[in-house]
Structure 1
Amino acid sequence: MNGLQILPLALTMMLGPQIMSAIIFVTTPRAVRVSLGFLAGVAIATTAGVAVMKGITGAFDLGDPSDKGSAGQIVQYVLVGLLAFGAVWNWVKRETIEPPKWLGTLMSADAKRAFKVGLLLISLMPSDLVIMFTVGINLSQNNAAFYEALPFIALTVLVAALPLLVRLLLGKRAEAAMPRIRDWTNTHSWLVNIIVYVVFIVLILA
């Protein structure tokens, strides 16, 4: 994977309830401890997810990545269609779409629960599974070793850590701003979802 692909993929991994959770955790009383638990869950789930997807895609002949008719390319075109449908659906339903109710319970989370949230979000979120599957296809088609996905994994964790880093660097100013950011992402979850889908479509087609 080249450097131009890695950062957008890592950003897309954390858009949606993932980054909303990270923002909520830095507004809790024990922000650092809870956030570190969340980051540990994200790191483990991303590493395991990429490894599994590489194993799955490596079991099939996906063809040459330069061949537009290869199995790997066809799979990605199907994913583009599904993502486009998801973006349109979010736009049509934007007035009624609300963030998951469980997000509202995270303010009382401890480090152990935050770890589970990070682990489950990456492991079960359809958008993240699609991204890790795409990373697996990329690795398999290019006969790349697993370690070549480490920059992607590291950047994903770094993006997840941004709310915590901002709070640590900006102190009181960040503490005042984070609740407003949290509330905005909650009320504009449909827009966040559309951004995820559009960015990922662009990445696949590019």
Structure 2
Amino acid sequence: MNGLNVLPLAVTMMLGPQIMSAIIFVTTPRAVRVSLGFLTGVAVAATVGTAIMMGLASLLDLGDPDDSGSTGKIIQYVLVGLLAAGAIKNWVRRETIQPPKWLGALMSADARKAFKVGLLVILLMPSDILVMLTVGTNLAQADANFAEALPFIAATVLIAALPLLALLLFHHRATAAMPHVRDWMNTHSWLINIVVCVLFIVLILA
């Protein structure tokens, strides 16, 4: 897997409700414990999800990655089409799109609930499923072993940990800033969704 794509893919994994969850958790009374539960869930979900997608991709004859007519390339083109449609839909509906209602319930979460949220925001989010499918397809086409997916998984967890790291390093400033960041992301969720789609399209076509 091209190492240059690891960080953008990890960023794409966490944009949207994923990073919003991480920000909300650092504004809770037990921020460190709850955030660690969330990060554990993200790590488990990214590992299991990538392994499953890689296994599924290895069962298919994806063909030569340089062949524009190979199964692997056709899958990528389909993904690009779906992402483009998603970006257009978010732009058209930008005035009415709201963040998921369940985000509002995270302020009272404990470490166990945060762990479950970490699992679900990775394993059930269509954008993350597409990212892990892309990673799995890329590795399967290159006949790589699962160890080559570890930098992607580590980068995903690192991105998820940024709000907690900011809290630990810049406690007072982070405490004051995080609610404003959370509110901005809530009101601009449509823009974040479009950025995710465009970034992912660029990564697939690169």
Q: Secondary structure at the match of 2:144?
A: coil
Task: Give the superposed CA RMSD.
Answer: 0.5
Task: Give the Å deviation of 1:78.
Answer: 0.4
Letter in 2 for 1:102: W
Task: Give the Å deviation of 1:68.
Answer: 1.2
Task: Give the Å deviation of 1:18.
Answer: 0.2
Q: Secondary structure at the match of 1:186?
A: helix
Moved over 4 A (4+): none
The aligned residue for residue 144 of structure 1 is 144
The aligned residue for residue 42 of structure 1 is 42
Q: Distance in 1 between matches of 2:42 and 2:22?
A: 10
Letter in 1 for 2:161: A
The aligned residue for residue 92 of structure 1 is 92
The aligned residue for residue 20 of structure 1 is 20
Counterparts of 1:34-183 in structure 2 under 5 Å?
34-183=34-183
Tell me the alpha carbon deviations over residues 135-154 of structure 1, each in whole angstroms, 9 at most, x when there is no partner: 01001000000010000000
The aligned residue for residue 30 of structure 2 is 30
Q: Secondary structure at the match of 1:28?
A: coil
Q: Give the TM-score normalised by the residue count of structure 1.
A: 0.99
Q: What is the count of residue pairs matched by the alignment?
A: 206
Does 1:194 pair with 2:190?
no
Tell me the alpha carbon deviations over residues 12-34 of structure 1, each in whole angstroms, 9 at most, x when there is no partner: 00001000000000010110000
Q: Give the TM-score normalised by the residue count of structure 2.
A: 0.99
Q: Secondary structure at the match of 1:97?
A: coil
Q: Distance in 1 between matches of 2:83 and 2:152?
A: 21
Q: Which runs of 5+ in 1 are unaligned?
A: none
Q: Which runs of 5+ in 2 are unaligned?
A: none
Letter in 2 for 1:116: K
The aligned residue for residue 204 of structure 2 is 204
Q: Distance in 2 between matches of 1:171 and 1:34?
A: 16
